[in-house]
Chain A
């Protein structure tokens, strides 16, 4: 065996001079790379993320679609933006809550917290990797949607803007989910709370049925839910129609979620 030095060499230091922003970006990059590798190296997670949109599109289109009146258009044309938002939220929310809660119990988090790295980078890397996953999920969802009859009825720019908006909204929700995952501190509890709010939240909206079909008291909520804003914005951007108000609402909700929950989550992670 070679005789190499295990510890610091006298007089030299390989640690570079601090450059706060540069190292913060470097930490974020390392953490994002780590989480993206996790996504790519968990085949069951990838399968689950991809099977789910397929299942939802087929179930809604062929089981419920015939009974839901969306006013002239084919149901898939109405449904796809709703499924896109639901899938983005489902991945971001359940995945992040459970993932973060599980990770907090591992020794690796103690190691990270005992290191001079940025604390926010751990969570930023985690949430950024959800964007990466959502790109894949959205791609599959659109592909399957097009197979069963969905068509873009708008220019390339609005469509791209719609997809960016989708990713932003999913990203914002993943910060809420991260905070939830840090608050429960137990993987079983995270399983229970991680995805459970997603179904009422996504179903009581314009995602699957026109809100006008709901009773008045429910409509009052559904019409103003951030889910409805995001779905309507996406629908308008993919299929045409007035989008501005919905886009602004969605951006406002997203930024609001990030501004509130990102600092809360980072503080929770760093608390000792």
Chain B
């Protein structure tokens, strides 16, 4: 059985800019592959070549064994595309959007009606089905966009930065929907700037930079290279400092670092501990906690580990976030 996606030596230039520089990818059917990289790395160009939107200059690019140059029409009937910008018609209602896409995928009218209703309900949009997307929130638009990609039950779906610009709750919702897709056997090529997202969803990863795949592997292998999550605990008074260090060392089996000046204790969050457990433990022993921050490895850390330099990010980078719970 051919791989869902196979590229070999794939190159694409725009004038003097080399967008893709001999990209090799293999994505077996039924898996999720994450393309991880900063803005301008070549993620979207890869997706656009594979979705038959632009022609490659050199190299092989196959979808289910069909080269994108030979029979784009065949590929188009097998794929779904959810781009960075919600590709929905602003002036048609949610339901009309889905119906139109279904019809354009050559589905019968009764099928389109049934499928649209099913997806609207499934994606929590039934209450907004007969409104125009311009009245939707960002998360709702993205869900409608995803639903449109699924109208024709594609075997392969491209998710190009599916959660960029979404609030955390909408992001979780999109992740949940993607996991369901995967559970049903759909192959997914996901692009993201967020290591966390790739970690959550992907079976395998390629880190891409300046049009080249610089490292590949499973999320676990990659994370092993960049280190673990870390917790920063800010105390209300310095008295609890030593006790906190001791408790954390016992629980985590690793040496916490204390910063008495800022009253912060930093510790790697190894597999032994979850944030709620640690907080419970500290509270029980009477430590007064002012603030807790979970610091997760980011794409930047991967870049630092792999290339020794920092990734150049866009302005929407999330590097460290405070979270009340480890997900």
The residues of A with any CB-CB pair to B shorter than 8 Å are: 1-2, 4-9, 14-16, 18, 23, 26-27, 30, 33-34, 37-38, 41-42, 106-108, 110-117, 272
Query: What are 25 inter-chain pairs, A to B, with CB distance below 8 A?
Result: A4-B118, A5-B184, A7-B153, A8-B154, A14-B108, A14-B111, A15-B152, A23-B106, A27-B103, A30-B100, A37-B91, A41-B91, A106-B85, A107-B83, A107-B87, A110-B53, A111-B149, A113-B52, A114-B51, A114-B53, A114-B76, A115-B105, A116-B77, A116-B106, A272-B54
Interchain CB contact under 8 A, B181 and A6: yes
Besides A6-B177, A107-B86, A113-B53, 4 other A-B contacts (C-beta < 8 A): A6-B119, A108-B88, A113-B52, A272-B55
Taking A7-B154, A116-B76 as contacts, is the C-beta distance between A14 and B181 under 8 angstroms?
no
Residues in chain B near residue A7, CB distance under 8 A: 150, 153-155, 181, 184-186
Taking a contact as CB atoms closer than 8 A, the residue among A15, A23, A108 that contacts B87 in the complex is A108
Contact among B79, B115, B155 with A114 in the assembled complex (CB-CB below 8 Å): B79
Distance of A36 from chain B, by nearest CB (Å): 11
Set of chain B residues within 8 Å of A30, measured between Cβ atoms = 100, 103-104
Q: Which residue of A lies closest to B93 (CB)?
A: A37
Q: Given that A6-B150, A16-B107, A38-B91 are known contacts, is A111 also in contact with B181, CB under 8 Å in the complex? A: no
Q: Taking beta carbons and an 8 Å cutoff, which residues of B are in contact with A?
A: 48, 51-55, 73, 76-77, 79, 81, 83-89, 91-92, 96, 100-101, 103-108, 111, 115, 118-119, 121-122, 132, 145, 148-150, 152-155, 177, 180-181, 184-186
Residue of A nearest to B80 (CB): A114
- Chain B residues whose C-beta falls within 8 Å of the C-beta of A33 in the assembled complex: 100
Given A2-B121, A15-B107, A272-B52 contact (CB < 8 Å)? yes
In contact, B83 and A16 (Cβ under 8 angstroms): no
Let me know if B153 and A8 touch, CB within 8 A: yes
**Residue of B with least CB distance to A105:** B85
Residues of B within 8 A of A15 (CB): 77, 105-107, 152
The 8 Å CB contact of A1, one of B76, B122, B153, B185, is: B122
A114 and B48 CA atoms in complex are apart in Å by 9
Task: State whether A26 and B184 are in contact (beta carbons under 8 Å apart), knowing that A2-B122, A9-B153 are contacts in the complex.
Answer: no
- Closest CB-CB distance, A31 to chain B, in whole Å? 8
Chain A's nearest CB lies how many Å from the CB of B312? Answer: 24
Q: Are B83 and A110 in contact (CB under 8 A)?
A: yes
Beta-carbon contact of B103 and A6 below 8 Å: no
Chain B residue nearest to A122 (CB atoms) is: B104
Q: Given A41-B91, A112-B104, A272-B52, decide whether A6 and B83 contact each other with a Cβ distance below 8 A.
A: no
| A residues near B76, Cβ cutoff 8 Å | 114-116
State whether B105 touches A116 (Cβ < 8 A): yes
**CB–CB A108/B52 < 8 A:** no
Q: Which residue of A lies closest to B78 (CB)?
A: A116
Alpha-carbon distance A6/B184, docked complex (angstroms) = 7
Inter-chain contacts of A108 with B (CB < 8 A): 87-89
Contacts of B100 in A (CB 8 A): 30, 33-34
Contacts of A2 in B (CB 8 A): 121-122
Residues of chain A lying within 8 A (CB to CB) of residue B132: 41
- Choice from A6, A9, A41, A107 contacting B180 with Cβ under 8 Å: A6
* Closest residue of B by beta carbon distance from A29: B103
Task: Give the CA-CA distance A114 to B189 in the complex, in Å.
Answer: 15
Distance in Å: Cβ of B93 to nearest Cβ of chain A: 9
Q: How far is the CB of A23 from chain B (nearest CB, A)?
A: 6
Within the assembled complex, what's the spacing in Å between the Cα atoms of A154 and B225?
86
Give the docked Cα–Cα distance between A113 and B79 (Å).
12
Chain A residue at minimum C-beta to C-beta distance from B180: A6
Distance (whole angstroms) from the CB of B24 to the closest CB of chain A = 22
Bound Cα distance A272, B100 (Å): 24
Complex CA gap A33/B150 in Å reads: 22
The 5 closest A-B pairs by CB, nearest first: A107-B87, A8-B153, A107-B85, A111-B87, A117-B104
Q: Are B103's CB and A42's CB within 8 A?
A: no
Closest to B68 in A: A272
Which residues of chain A have C-beta atoms less than 8 A from B149's C-beta?
111
CB distance from B4 to the nearest CB of A (A): 13
Q: How far apart are A107's CB and chain B's nearest CB, in angstroms?
A: 3
Residue contact A42 to B104, C-beta cutoff 8 Å = no
B122 with A4: CB separation less than 8 A: yes
Query: Which of B76, B148, B153 has the most chain A CB atoms closer than 10 A to its own CB?
Result: B153
Chain B residue numbers with a CB within 8 Å of A34 are: 89, 92, 100
Contact residues in A for B154 (Cβ distance below 8 Å): 7-8
**Cα separation A158 to B216 with both chains bound (whole Å):** 72
Q: Are A111 and B148 in contact (CB under 8 A)?
A: yes
Bound CA span A36–B181, Å: 34
Which residues in A have their C-beta under 8 angstroms from that of B105? 15, 115-117
B104/A14 in contact, CB under 8 A: no
- Write the nearest CB–CB distance from B177 to chain A, whole angstroms: 8
Determine how close the nearest CB of chain B comes to the CB of A122; give it in whole angstroms: 10
B94 to chain A, nearest CB (A): 14
Contact of A42 with B91 in the complex, beta carbons under 8 Å: yes
Q: Min CB distance, B10 to chain A, in Å?
A: 15
Measured in the bound complex, the distance between the Cα atoms of B122 and A178 in whole Å is: 38
> Taking the nearest CB of chain B, how far is it from the CB of A88, in angstroms?
23
In the complex, chain A residues whose CB is within 8 Å of the CB of B73: 116
